[in-house]
Amino acid sequence: MTDEATVADTSATESENRTILLIGSGPIQIGQAAEFDYSGAQACRALQEEGARVVLVNSNPATIMTDPEMADRVYIEPITTTAIAEIIRQEQPDGVIAGLGGQTGLNVTAELAEEGVLEEHDVEIMGTPLDTIYATEDRDLFRQRMEKIGQPVPASTTIVLDDDESAEAMSEDALRDRVAAAVDEVGGLPVIARTTYTLGGSGSGVVDDMDKLVERVRKGLRLSRNDEVLITESIAGWVELEYEVMRDADDSTIIICNMENIDPMGIHTGESVVVTPSQVIPDEGHQEMRDAALEVIRELGIQGGCNIQFAWHDDGTPGGEYRVVEVNPRVSRSSALASKATGYPIARVTAKVALGKRLHEIENEITGETTAAFEPAIDYVVTKVPRWPIDKFDDVDFTLGPAMKSTGEAMSIGRTFEESLLKALRSSEYEPAVDWIDVDDETLEQEYLERPSPDRPYAIFEAFDRGYTVESVVETTDIKEWYVERFKRVSESVAAAAEGDFTEAAVKGVTNAEIASTAGTDVGSVEASVPGRTYKQVDTCAGEFAAQTPYYYSSRKPEFVTGPFEGDAAAGELRVDRDVESVVVVGGGPIRIGQGVEFDYCSVHAIQALREEGVDAHVVNNNPETVSTDYDTSDGLFFEPITAEEVADVIEAADADGVMVQFGGQTSVNIGHPLEAELERRGLDCEILGTSVDAMDLAEDRDRFNRLMDDRGIAQPEGGSATSEQEALELATDIGYPVLVRPSYVLGGRAMDVVYDDEELKEYIEEAVRVSPDKPILIDEFLDDAVELDVDAVADGEDVLIGGVMEHVESAGVHSGDSACMIPPQADAVRDVMDRVREVTLEIARELDTVGLLNVQLAVKDGTVYVLEANPRSSRTVPFVSKATGVPIAKLAAKVMAGDDLADLDVEEQIPEQVSVKEVVLPFDRLEGSDPRLGPEMKSTGEVMGTAQHFGKAYEKAQSATGKAIPTTGTAVVDLSAAEFPAPDTEAGQALLDGFGEFFDVQEFDDLRGAIRAGEVDVIVSRNREALEVAVEEDVTYFSTHASATAVLEGLRHHDDPIDVQAISDRPKQQTQWGGE
């Protein structure tokens, strides 16, 4: 070997022989959504490009990053020190990258370091050092560092508990004194109280009342990992800005972009409408903050991506005045947004920088001719709008503040702010549940303008419709005039459209369909008289270089151009190949309860499958947190609202041959009908692939579906529909209480309930009618004590492949999306009817002419298999099934939809030899006042998976993966008073009491809430709402169903089983059919 070769080898092996452990962020929850799936997936690719061997761990099966082909070794295991230490022992990584798994990844890495695990196994923390993480999370330390380099921070002080103090034990007066001193120190009320070491600012708030502040501090001290609450000068009303920064080991440091919150300081940036780039900051102020950002990242020694928050206001000087508010020394939700807003792949560059690459050595894949050492230039306006679960939580106050309540977000791109805003609002798929006619001016001002809420943007439009001035809206909302003025222009343009002048509204971003409906005319005549949409490229450089990457947004032409664009003109800047076969995959939009990251997983799999088949795959989506909207996932990424009109425009521009609406959850399914009509109206030669829209409809139409099942001799719970209260009461009496009631069109279990008598039914009808006025309600027999099953299958019109059969832990009465479930089923009652389960699934697949995915929900009672629901489209269990069985059913579905036969795809059904449990994560700790009991309404935000030889251990692993591990000793309260539970004097009741008695000191308390507050209870079984709300506040583990309490006992009995940490590809499976053999 020559010297030269040796040298070359050394430099190449530097990263080639290294094993890197990448830690994911776990389940989707408020404050931590899909952004870490996107950044983790991007980082995996980047590390592998550099020749590193990647070991990945994440507990969330619904992610793309946990696909077996994403890393060299993929572990779906709890993100706990125990599980990860075991992985480290097995894989012996050289380094761990902590900055890509959100707060969860950072925290567990810090714990691994503190426990000495990293040192013991010689694992280096790559990228940003731990000291930096501590310096940014401990706000006092952070303030010291900022003061050292002369950067202004808001006045603040911490309230800290000494080792011998506890938040519970401290007297009211002592705490009050401590709080009063802190308030004095920062210059008086109002102040912001923040808890350190929490996700998304949980437990934070602007407070202007001493009593409230004392309560808030007590709560904050309990939640905080380090017994601290920070009290800060309120800079309410200042503009809140974020800067995304990148730095390499040679100190090349750049700003990727800045982001400006429309909502003023005091509202969490995750809750605010955010615009990129900043609009109201002059260059001098922008450069001052840019300098500050660079100085801060250098002082902290960050390597990779980082996010810095500022508050700014115009104090009359050319540059204005600013404060440094916060630093996130890692990839974050904002960095995902910044990546999508600019095209700069922050996670990819962060991963490469962690391996020692310099920015100018990393190629900018978007342009292909520049490097990562540049600052993106933007020639459009990006707007992000959060999406809140307001429709799921009647009892929760959705006033926006410093703590996050939103579950997801939508992003849009336009050439003007108006266009960008309207596209973003459309993309968020939110409609205020308010009839403005019923709102008087005073209420409008106080409840909807002054009070920040999800409805505020809509209220501003309403205010202008009522003739409010820009000045008065600025005054009540504290939103900058520049923005308010543009809201007014939208209102005016819509008013003009109603009078027949369509152009302004169109140019401002209103759809042709909306204009037609406002003006009471047909879409065709609107379309002919307004400027059409063309497609622009997101190129990182504002047009300076010719970009290579197919990342697009639409924009209307200015008013001097009229009519739709066709052919090449419609294509605008598109570089897609209009001559090859291509398919548009419709994505899932923002993450919300009932529609999580699993539908992005399905969309991405559909895209991958099409590309494997040699078909060009384009995607329409607007969620900036996702893998589907990464620039190299598809052949054409269209960042657009998901409406029939806008999807049809994409189809026309790309000259697509087919479109898939099965994969993006309800969002994509909902446009099936209107899209079919729109394609027909335009005479486009594009087919909706897979199961027909009519069959999807049939499955959702109870009456049609009931008749079909009856014809086929498939059992269903007895039921029917009622259009009046009288009819409903009669029907319920016929069936016999309890009954399950719901509106006829079911959206993710919305407004579903179990009622036990006439009174409850009457109450329900009042609400249901409000929910859906022109639809009847459905009343079904409630199958008490049945076992519920979920089946996911793929059909090609001929053959059917069952992906998996899951048994629910919680059964009837708990929404299937909130129930834990296991694969394969363990109950004997299910094993006995497995043949029938197969038969029923195959029959339904055939009857619905299913081509693609099919999800069937079944109930088994007394040996009979009942059909509860069938949906010929992707379901939320698809990724879980695929991860547990190793059969990629979403991909198979896309392939059969594109014309393949299952028989040709060389794939067999597989049954795992171990048990995998899926458990959900619930947002009650983020939503004060929410009902923490599981019920027919879906409330969970995300899911985790635990796998082991026995159900008990798998269930226990899944529970610990949710972050709420089952306690193993201490005091238990087993309160069986609710109808849900067996009475204490029954055999089942006694079994529960005895079971808990085996592990815990089972006690009763006269004042249960007080006992929980005092920390005297470790685990609770109850449906006492008030007590459970306290348990949520105090972070005490509880179980609100009989089924989960029973499962917990199983878990405890298997607590001492081996933890069974294994890469998913190593877990054994059998090539056997699900039933029917």
Partner 1 sequence: MSDAYLALEDGRVIEARGRAPGRTRGELVFTTAYTGYEESLTDPSYEEQVLTFSYPLIGNYGVRSERFESDRVHPRAAIAREFTDDVAEWLAEEGVPAIDHLDTRELVTSIREEGAMRCGLAVGPDATPADAKAELDACKGMSEHVDIGAQVSVEEPTVHEGGSAATVAMIDCGAKGSIAESLLERDATVHVLPYDATPADVAAVDPDLLFISNGPGDPENFEAAEALVDEFVGDLPIAGICLGQQVVANALGGSTEKMDFGHRGVNQPVRDLDTDRVVMTTQNHGYTVGEPGDELNVTQVNVNDGTAEGLENEDLGVITRQYHPEAHPGPNDSLDFFDDVLDLVSTDTPVATSD
For partner 1, the binding residue among 573, 577, 613, 1016 (CB under 8 A) is 573
369 interacts with partner 1 by CB under 8 A? yes
378 interacts with partner 1 by CB under 8 A? yes
1062 known ligand binder: no
CB of 114 to partner 1, least distance (A): 35
814 known ligand binder: yes
CB of 279 to partner 1, least distance (A): 5
370 interacts with partner 1 by CB under 8 A? yes
242 known ligand binder: no
CB of 247 to partner 1, least distance (A): 11
For partner 1, the binding residue among 26, 266, 277, 329 (CB under 8 A) is 277
509 Cβ neighbours under 8 A, 6+ residues apart: 414, 416, 418, 419, 420, 421, 422, 423, 490, 556
Q: What angle, 0 to 180 degrees and rounded to 10, lies between the N-to-C axes of helices 598-612 and 889-897?
A: 50
For partner 1, the binding residue among 147, 251, 568, 685 (CB under 8 A) is 251
For partner 1, the binding residue among 225, 482, 580, 832 (CB under 8 A) is 482
Q: Which helix (H) or strand (E) holds 355?
A: none
Q: Name the one residue in this structure whose structure tokens are 């911490």.
A: 158
CA distance 516 to 496: 12
CB of 179 to partner 1, least distance (A): 39
Q: Are strands 636-639 and 1037-1039 parallel, antiparallel or unpaired?
A: unpaired
What x-and-dash track marks residues 784-823 binding partner 1 by CB under 8 A?
----------------------------------------
Residue type for 529, please? S
560 interacts with partner 1 by CB under 8 A? yes
CB of 547 to partner 1, least distance (A): 10
129 Cβ neighbours under 8 A, 6+ residues apart: 301
Contact (CB, 8 A) for 19 and 92: yes
Contact (CB, 8 A) for 366 and 343: yes
Nearer to partner 1, 319 or 989 (CB): 319
Q: Name the one residue in this structure whose structure tokens are 């923005």.
A: 483
What x-and-dash track marks residues 343-362 binding partner 1 by CB under 8 A?
---------------xxx--
CB of 312 to partner 1, least distance (A): 11
Nearer to partner 1, 279 or 706 (CB): 279
282 interacts with partner 1 by CB under 8 A? yes
632 Cβ neighbours under 8 A, 6+ residues apart: 365, 549
CB of 964 to partner 1, least distance (A): 46
25 known ligand binder: no
Contact (CB, 8 A) for 29 and 919: no
568 interacts with partner 1 by CB under 8 A? no
CA distance 517 to 398: 30
CB of 544 to partner 1, least distance (A): 6
**CA separation, residue 936 to residues 487, 872, 1009 (Å):** 39, 22, 26
1047 interacts with partner 1 by CB under 8 A? no
290 interacts with partner 1 by CB under 8 A? yes
Nearer to partner 1, 222 or 348 (CB): 348
List the structure tokens of 151. 């950067």
Nearer to partner 1, 489 or 611 (CB): 489
Nearest Cα neighbor of 1013 from 229, 169, 177 is: 169
283 interacts with partner 1 by CB under 8 A? yes
CA distance 220 to 245: 30
What x-and-dash track marks residues 380-419 binding partner 1 by CB under 8 A?
xx---------------------------------xxx--
374 interacts with partner 1 by CB under 8 A? yes
For partner 1, the binding residue among 114, 115, 250, 785 (CB under 8 A) is 250
252 interacts with partner 1 by CB under 8 A? yes
Cα angle 396, 399, 402 (rounded to 5 degrees) comes to: 110
596 known ligand binder: no
CB of 65 to partner 1, least distance (A): 31
281 interacts with partner 1 by CB under 8 A? yes
**CA separation, residue 1050 to residues 661, 1045, 1054 (Å):** 41, 9, 6
CB of 728 to partner 1, least distance (A): 55
CA distance 556 to 917: 49
DSSP-based three-state secondary structure for 207? strand
Question: Could you say which residues in the range 152-211 bind partner 1, by CB under 8 A?
Answer: none
CB of 381 to partner 1, least distance (A): 7
Q: DSSP states of 111-122 as a string?
A: HHHHTTHHHHTT
Nearer to partner 1, 543 or 997 (CB): 543
Nearer to partner 1, 371 or 1037 (CB): 371
**Residue 42, φ and ψ in degrees, nearest 5:** -65, -40
For partner 1, the binding residue among 135, 254, 976, 1027 (CB under 8 A) is 254
Q: Name the one residue in this structure whose structure tokens are 């590390």.
A: 47
CB of 344 to partner 1, least distance (A): 11
Contact (CB, 8 A) for 807 and 789: yes
1054 known ligand binder: no
Q: Which helix (H) or strand (E) holds 98?
A: none
Candidate segments 83-91, 275-283, 589-597, 600-608, binder of partner 1 by CB under 8 A: 275-283
Nearer to partner 1, 216 or 557 (CB): 557
CB of 541 to partner 1, least distance (A): 7
262 known ligand binder: no
Question: Could you say which residues in the range 508-537 bind partner 1, by CB under 8 A?
Answer: 536
For partner 1, the binding residue among 197, 461, 545, 737 (CB under 8 A) is 545
1067 known ligand binder: no
CB of 646 to partner 1, least distance (A): 19
Nearest Cα neighbor of 876 from 890, 886, 860, 887 is: 890
554 interacts with partner 1 by CB under 8 A? no
Contact (CB, 8 A) for 849 and 835: no
For partner 1, the binding residue among 87, 463, 513, 541 (CB under 8 A) is 541
385 Cβ neighbours under 8 A, 6+ residues apart: 273, 409, 410, 411, 412, 424, 425, 427, 428, 430, 457
Sign, Cα dihedral of 220, 152, 257, 479:
positive
Report the b/e string of 23-53 with b at 16+ CB within 10 A: bbbbbbbbbbbbbbbbbbbbbbbbbbebebb
Question: Could you say which residues in the range 293-322 bind partner 1, by CB under 8 A?
Answer: 294, 318
Counting residues that bind partner 1 (by CB under 8 A) gives: 50
Candidate segments 284-292, 630-638, 808-816, 897-905, binder of partner 1 by CB under 8 A: 284-292
Contact (CB, 8 A) for 763 and 754: no
Q: Looking at the DSSP assignment, which residues form a beta bridge with residue 658?
A: 583, 687
544 interacts with partner 1 by CB under 8 A? yes
CA distance 881 to 901: 21
List the structure tokens of 544. 């300076």
807 Cβ neighbours under 8 A, 6+ residues apart: 787, 788, 789, 821, 822, 823, 824, 825, 826, 827, 830
11 known ligand binder: no
Note the residues at the interface with partner 1 (CB under 8 A). 250-252, 254-255, 277-284, 286-287, 290-291, 294, 318, 358-360, 369-371, 373-381, 415-417, 482, 536, 541-546, 557-560, 573
Q: Can you say which residues are annotated as belonging to the binding site for Mg(2+)?
A: 309, 326, 328, 857, 869, 871
Q: Can you say which residues are annotated as belonging to the binding site?
A: 139, 194, 200-201, 233, 235, 240, 266-268, 309, 326, 328, 742, 781, 783, 788, 813-816, 857, 869, 871
Q: Can you say which residues are annotated as belonging to the binding site for Mn(2+)?
A: 309, 326, 328, 857, 869, 871
